[in-house]
Amino acid sequence: MSATPRSVLDRESLPTGLVLFPPGTDPRKKRRRLLFAAFYLLVVASVLWPVYPLFSGIRPMILGLPLSLAWVVFALLAGFAALLALYATEVDPGETG
Amino acid sequence: METWLVALVVCGVYLAVTLAMGILPGLKVSKSIAGYVAADRAMGFVVLYFVLGASIFSSFAFLGGPGWAYSRGASAFYIIAYGTIGMVPFYFMGPRARRLGQRFGFVTQAELLSHRYDSRALSVVLAAVSLVAFVPYLTLQMEGAGLILNTITEGRVSEAVGAAVTYGVVVVYVLTSGVLGVGWTNTFQGLFMMVIAWFLGLWLPARLYGGVGEMFAAIAASEKAALLEAPGLTASGEPWSWAGFSSAVLISAIGFSMWPHLFMKAYAAKSDRALRRTVVMYPTFQIFLVPILLIGFAGVLAYPGVEKTDQILPYVLTQIEGLSPIVIGLVCAGTLAASMSSGDSILHSAASVGVCDGLAKAVPRGWLDDRKERLWIRGLVVVLAALAYYFAVASETSLVELLLMSYGWIAQIFPLAFAAFYWPRATGAGALSGLLAGFAVNTLFRLWPALSPIAGMHEGIWGLAANVAVFVAVSLLTAPQATERVRSYVEA
């Protein structure tokens, strides 16, 4: 925090770091979202170097698709399932986030 | 009747239905900016789902996607990969943007960012960048529409006439109904192109090879096997580097939800729930890229040597035996749907952004009232459509380079949007200088790729690095913003 005088004193109370959840967020919701974020980063990594090169070949063919394509489709489905699961726990329309 | 005539009649019927569906909802929506630009904040899940999905699936997906699969093979999987990860941040940021829009009356992306960062300059910069990105985007959609009509009628309908008729329809329903015209036509167009893509993507391999598995086995056994190995080939036929593939996926994914025409649909959603469901269900739209790429792969062994790869889909249609002319017409209409459902959204957003974020911020406050603003937006719709049409048919200037460059620019908006909600200490000076640094570095490496420390890396990555560094440093060196304002974002 800088020490220069300011007209609005309350500015001093602004945190310097990231605030990912509004104060008072249910800790279970926080945990679920962080868990989702971790899984999502795995999905992101799976379609990038250095993970995707492990699955970039043609064989084995899966359901008629070359492995390189099947892998990307698998990543799509995994991401879809994870977000669907998160959403199922957050359906309350009045919820903030 | 001759094949081309049947196909043309089918396209004509499709255009007439689209026009009717586009004009009708305009009779209901309120005559206000919130009505014209954000559908009175009342769009439900179904329409929202198709608006987002169909806006993204442009004629690039329908013509360029198969073209990539045909000539560059697995590199086309990058389109599936970035869509998979690109929509997810919107699950978290979209509802916040929606609630703030409702509270403060925002209808565009730049309104939110320039309010959070208390900067009119930021708004004007974002408006300028959006317009620079949107005009080539729109131009490509028009070229796609003209091209398909021209190919299907074997040259009887010129590209200029094809583009003029299709986009005449778009301009009429965007003028009368605003975003609701976009919404209802996109629902129709989205369903239509999904059905067409799945049908064609499964039928073509079956017809030509006996099945999808057989098709890939045949390609794998041929001298073109390298096409199937990720990350595929570059446009010139060399193997694409992993640095190039990975960074292209990342930059496109980061920019994905930042495209102004997509971001501002958050304000049209009637509830957080409708918006979240749309994001959650988006992969069901995304998956239809798979059959679209199958169309391109089907051409690899059956029709080698097609030089204009964007034409592989219409080319195959005119060559293949045993396809009913009505089906050819439906595929043609499906391609028009892909072009128009993106073109309408872009046209509508570009005009809204140009007026709400550019003009309204550049003239004295109070000069534009709600009625005048709507009038200006409608005027700009016509001007932008005319400009894009000029580039599409009359000008020799290629805008592809501008469009490719704009993907890197759009990704630079992400740090600002993220920090708006999650980093209270971010300041207006930091945001504006970070954004400008990002644009500058992005443009520098685009124009002189040889300067890049890692060969083949997407220039947007370097732009983002500069952007974040400058954004954070300048924010910490400048006074924090008014707490009340920041709090409404962090706690939204």
Global confidence as pTM: 0.92
**B252, B248, B329: which is closest to B286 by C-alpha?**
B252
Closest by CA position to B87, among listed B231, B302, B225, B258: B258
Choose the closest CB to B81 out of A72, A86, A87.
Answer: A72
A85 inside 8 A of chain B by CB: no
Are residues B307 and B76 in contact, defined by beta-carbon separation less than 8 angstroms? no
Of B280, B480, B490, the CB nearest to A84: B280
Separate counts of helices (H) and strands (E) for chain B? 25, 0
Contacts of B84 in chain A (CB under 8 A): 43, 47, 72, 75-76, 79
User: Which residues does chain A have within 8 Å of residue B480's beta carbon, measured at their own beta carbons?
Assistant: 11, 14
Q: What are phi and psi of B239, to 5 degrees?
A: -60, 135
**Residues 47-66 in A contacting B (C-alpha not used; CB under 8 Å):** 47-50, 52-53, 55-59, 61, 63-66
pLDDT score at A12: 60
Q: Do residues B297 and B70 make contact, with C-beta atoms less than 8 angstroms apart?
A: yes
Contact yes or no for B81 and A77 at CB 8 A: no
- What residues have CB less than 8 Å from B169, skipping those under 6 apart? B15, B18, B19, B22, B340
Please tell me the distance from the alpha carbon of residue B222 to that of residue B205, in angstroms, as a whole number.
Answer: 16
Nearest by CB: B273 against A14, A76, A93: A93
CB contact under 8 A, A11 and B479: yes
Quote the pLDDT of residue B297. Answer: 97
Tell me whether residues A83 and B277 touch, CB distance under 8 A: no
Residues of B with CB below 8 A from A83's CB? 88, 91, 279-280, 283
**Could you tell me how many CB contacts below 8 A there are between chain A and chain B?**
149
CB contact under 8 A, A19 and B286: no
Residue A92's pLDDT band, with cuts at 50, 70 and 90, is low
With CB atoms and an 8 Å threshold, state whether B229 touches A57: yes
CA B174 to chain centre: 17
Residues of A in contact with B102 (CB under 8 A): none
Query: DSSP readout, B428-457?
Result: HHHHHHHHHHHHHHHHHHHH-GGG-SSTT-
Q: pLDDT 10s digit of each residue in chain B, 492 long?
A: 788 899 999 999 999 999 998 898 877 777 888 888 888 898 999 989 988 888 877 777 788 899 999 999 999 999 999 988 999 999 999 999 999 999 999 999 999 999 999 999 999 999 998 898 899 889 989 998 998 899 888 899 999 999 999 999 999 999 988 888 888 888 888 888 888 899 999 999 999 999 999 999 999 999 999 999 999 999 888 999 999 999 999 999 999 999 999 999 999 999 999 999 999 999 998 998 999 999 999 999 999 988 888 888 888 888 888 788 898 899 889 889 889 988 999 999 999 999 999 888 888 877 888 888 899 999 999 999 999 999 998 877 767 777 777 889 999 999 999 999 999 999 999 999 999 999 999 999 999 999 999 988 999 999 999 999 999 999 999 999 999 899 999 988
In this prediction, residue B190 carries a pLDDT of 86
Position A6 pLDDT exceeds 50: no
**Do A66 and B91 count as a contact with CB atoms less than 8 A apart?**
no
How far, CA to CA in Å, does B472 sit from each of A18, B51, B201, B433, B469? 12, 35, 47, 10, 5
